[in-house]
Amino acid sequence: MERLREAGVTPTMQRLAILAFLENTKLHPTADEVYAAVHKEHPTIARATVYNTLDALTRAGAILRLSVDPSAARYDADLGPHVHFRCRLCGRVIDLEVETTNCLSRQVEGHHVEAVRTYAFGVCSSCQCEREQVPQRDGRLPAAYSGEPRRGKKREEGDCA
Ligand SMILES: [Zn+2]
Ligand SMILES: [Zn+2]
């Protein structure tokens, strides 16, 4: 509620639902994915409402718009320092808790840096496992990828079998 007010957005049930959905996902959804999810709970919500709300929240700095995916903007309500990693095979955007920078909140060449956003690209742990089983990939989505992060225990090295 406060986050919406600070963003200059009148808090409505629909807008609260948009922000709540973003705050509870780690999938960095596109605007269309936000719309699809919120529409389930609020069938009367307009696509334009979702787009406008995401825009207003982004402009106000209440959420992040990520340009890590060339095909669509993605959104993140987690403003903490973290790196976004995009898998070039399955397209997932994953949070990496790595040391992002050593120049956070300090003067750099006379400029005061408040935040550094870094994107990382490569092949995620799940896709690496699949590649070991199917050596020659043709760039298609792995069959096992459903758009949801894999559940259960975290995969570790040597955990591919
Ligand atoms: Zn992947
Ligand atoms: Zn994130």
Measured in Å, residue 92 CA sits from the centre of ligand 1 at 6
Range among 29-38, 92-101, 104-113, 141-150 rated most confident? 29-38
Please report how the helices 13-23 and 47-59 are oriented relative to each other, as an axis angle in degrees rounded to 10.
Answer: 60
Measured in Å, residue 93 CA sits from the centre of ligand 2 at 8
Give the chain's mean pLDDT. Answer: 82
What integer pLDDT is reported at residue 35 of this predicted model? 97
**Among 147, 64, 43, which Cα is nearest to 17's?**
43
Residues measured by CB to lie within 5 Å of ligand 1, the ion: 87, 89-90, 124, 127
Domain boundaries, the chain: 2-74, 80-161
pLDDT band at 134 (very low <50, low <70, confident <90, very high): low
Judge whether 65 and 56 are in contact, CB under 8 Å.
no
Q: CA 94, CA 73: separation in Å to the nearest integer?
A: 15
Is the pLDDT at 97 greater than 90? The verdict is no
What integer pLDDT is reported at residue 102 of this predicted model? 53
pLDDT, tens digit, for every residue of 35-45? 999 999 999 99
Angle at 98 between CA 66 and CA 160, to 5 degrees: 95
Longest dimension (CA), the chain: 52
Domain made up of 2-74: CATH architecture:
Orthogonal Bundle (1.10)
Measured in Å, residue 25 CA sits from the centre of ligand 2 at 9
Whole-prediction pTM: 0.74
**N- to C-terminal Cα distance for the chain?**
46
Is the pLDDT at 101 greater than 70? The verdict is no
Over residues 44-64, the mean pLDDT reads: 92
Higher pLDDT, 35 or 133: 35
